[in-house]
Amino acid sequence: MVILFDEFHLPENVYDIIFATEQQAIVAKLLISEMKKNGAMMGKSEMSVFANALHEGVNVEITKPGPVMRKERTKMSYNKRQFYDRILTPMKGMGMIDYDLYKKQYFISDKFQKDMIRIGLMWNKEVNKQNLSAN
């Protein structure tokens, strides 16, 4: 997955940086919130129940931008297949969520944060690399 951002216009939350649409960011935030309620993990059947609930529609609170920020409750649905393809799979691929094959449990992971640090260190190494071919 590609993450494009402007350092001068970083959004307030990480979901808006990672996901392309506001709806995807909301669904990802709902997923992490649900996982936190369950001790930072969910089984396969619990994940399926969550995806089905999204498919049928859930009430969410959205902050509307403008001169005066206001919160608005609305019903939102998200296709079950798209949830797996556009939310869960990318979050697993980026290391935000991991899956234990033996326990058949999804859990919130810190691999994403570690990878971001590793990428920063790689960039630092590149910037500080001596240009030996100029001699």
Give domain status of residue 66, yes or no: yes
Give domain status of residue 9, yes or no: no
Q: Are 62 and 72 in contact (CB under 8 A)?
A: yes
Residue 12: per-residue pLDDT: 87
Give domain status of residue 68, yes or no: yes
pTM value is: 0.85
Give domain status of residue 81, yes or no: yes
Give domain status of residue 54, yes or no: yes
Give domain status of residue 2, yes or no: no
Give domain status of residue 6, yes or no: no
Give domain status of residue 7, yes or no: no
- Full domain range(s) for residue 121: 14-127
Overall average pLDDT of the 61-84 stretch: 84
Pairing of strands 70-76, 58-64: antiparallel
What is the maximum alpha-carbon separation in the chain? Answer: 65
Regarding predicted confidence, which is higher, 107 or 67?
Answer: 107
Whether residue 73 is predicted with pLDDT greater than 90 in this model: the reply is: no
> How many distinct structural domains can be found in the chain?
1
Confidence of residue 133 (pLDDT cuts 50, 70, 90): low
